[in-house]
Structure 1
Amino acid sequence: MTFWFVAIGFKNFTVGKDITSLESSNSEKILTIFSIITAPGTIGLPGKCPRIDGWALYIIKSNEFIKELMFRNNYG
């Protein structure tokens, strides 16, 4: 599974990293990259959505889940 994930601001947290051409099986590398997901006002710390504990872990599991989050952010 290959996907793009480009810096997108969500209501409760911000994702600020470009990710491309990563295979979902390479979970260690993806986890390292997604460690920059941060709560508002923080930089470079492993982040979690304030209302959804462990969100950074869930996002690496499914490309469809990422698409759903992007859709919800853009279209309410």
Structure 2
Amino acid sequence: MAAALLLAARTEGLVLDPVYTGRAMAGLVSAVQDGDIEPGEKTVFLHTGGLPGLFGHQDAIAFAEQRVGHDRDR
């Protein structure tokens, strides 16, 4: 899920919450990797929100703080 959050943020500018949309994106990434979704196949990812919950989720805050520090070190 964490890798899917970073992938969505870096490649599409999507901010996903770690509880619902992050897990849904992880499933989508897995489906592509497993070949269940073919390259070029039309696919819809419905972002249902979740952003307000992101800031109140302690694990999400810790994860974001860790990533910001990690990205600065590069």
- Output the TM-score relative to the length of structure 2: 0.30
Relative contact order (C-alpha < 8 Å, sep 6+): which is higher?
A: 2
Higher strand share: 1
Larger radius of gyration: 2
Higher helix share: 2
